[in-house]
Chains A and B, each alone.
Chain A
Amino acid sequence: MSNLLVLGCSYSELEHHVKYGHRDNSYTIQIKNELGFNNLINLAISGASPQMVNRLLFQYIANPRFGMPDFVFIQWPYATRSEYYTDNNNDEQARLFTRTGESNGSIYSWKKRIGLDITDFVDNKEYFVVYNSEWSSTSETISGSQQNAHYRLTTDISQQLINLSKEVFIAETLLDKLNIPYAYVESDMKVNKYGTLPGLLSKEHENLKIYDYTKQLCHKKFLIPNCGIQLDSPTFAKDRYKDGHPGELSHKRFAEYITPKLKELIK
Chain B
Amino acid sequence: MNNLLILGCSYSHLGHHKQYSKKENSYTIHLMKKLGANKLINLAMPGASPSTVNRILLQYLDNPVFGNPDFVFIQWPNANRNEYFIDEKYDREDLEYITTSIKQGLVHFGWADGTPIKRFDGPPELTIANNTWTSTHEGEDQRFKSAHEKIFINESQRLINLYKEVGIAENYLGNLKIPYAYVESDYWNGRGLLSNSHYDMPAYNYAQHLCHKQHLIPGMGIQRGSPTYAGANDDYADGHPGIVSHRNFADELIPKLKEIINK
For B167, give its contact among A85, A131, A134, A173 (CB under 8 Å): A173
Q: Which residues of A contact B154 (CB under 8 A)?
A: 84-87
* B148 and A153 form a contact (CB under 8 A): yes
Asked if A99 lies at the interface with its beta carbon under 8 angstroms from chain B, I say: no
B132 to chain A, nearest CB (A): 6
Stretch at the interface among A67-75, A182-190, A205-213: A205-213
Contact A158 B148 (CB under 8 A): no
Give the docked Cα–Cα distance between A96 and B167 (Å).
28
Q: What's the minimum C-beta distance from B57 to chain A, rounded to whole angstroms?
A: 10
Q: Are B156 and A209 in contact (CB under 8 A)?
A: no
A158–B85 CB distance below 8 A? yes
Considering only CB atoms, which chain A residue lies closest to B149 in the complex? A149
Contacts of B132 in A (CB 8 A): 158, 209-210
Please classify the interface of chain A as helix (H, G, I), strand (E, B), loop, or mixed, using the class held by over half of its residues. helix
The answer to whether A149 touches B209, judged by C-beta atoms less than 8 angstroms apart, is no
Residues of A within 8 A of B87 (CB): 156-158
Contact B168 A131 (CB under 8 A): no
Contact A149 B148 (CB under 8 A): yes
Of the listed residues A85, A149, A217, the one surrounded by the most CB atoms of chain B closer than 10 A to its CB is A85
- The answer to whether A152 touches B144 (Cβ under 8 A) is yes
Contact A85 B84 (CB under 8 A): no
Q: Which residues from A are CB-within-8-Å of B61?
A: 216
Q: Which of B48-79 contact A (CB under 8 A)?
A: 55, 58-59, 61-62
* Residues of B178-213 whose CB lies within 8 A of A: 202-203, 205-206, 209-210
B98-142: which have CB < 8 Å to A? 129, 132
For the complex formed, measure the closest distance between the CB of B207 and the CB atoms of chain A, giving whole angstroms.
9
Known: A59-B205, A134-B156. Contact between A213 and B86, CB under 8 A?
A: no
Report A224-239 CB contacts with B as 1/0, cut-off 8 Å: 0000000000000000
Instruction: Please tell me the size bucket of the interface on A.
Output: 20 to 34
Of the stretches A16-24, A31-39, A112-120, A162-170, the one at the interface is A162-170
Contact between chains at A149 and B164 (CB < 8 Å): no
Contacts of B263 in A (CB 8 A): none
**Judging by beta carbons under 8 Å apart, are B148 and A58 in contact?**
no
Which of chain B's residues have a CB closer than 8 A to the CB of A62? 209
B177 within 8 A of partner (CB): no
Show 21 A/B contacts (Cβ-Cβ < 8 Å), sorted by A.
A58-B206, A58-B209, A58-B210, A84-B151, A85-B154, A85-B156, A134-B202, A148-B147, A149-B147, A149-B148, A150-B147, A153-B151, A159-B84, A166-B168, A169-B168, A170-B167, A170-B210, A174-B209, A212-B59, A216-B61, A217-B168
A159 CA / B55 CA spacing, docked (Å) = 13
B21 interface residue per 8 A CB criterion: no
**Besides A62-B209, A149-B147, A174-B209, 4 new A-B residue pairs in contact (Cβ under 8 A), listed by A number:** A55-B206, A153-B144, A157-B87, A212-B62
Cβ contacts under 8 Å, A217 to chain B: 58, 168
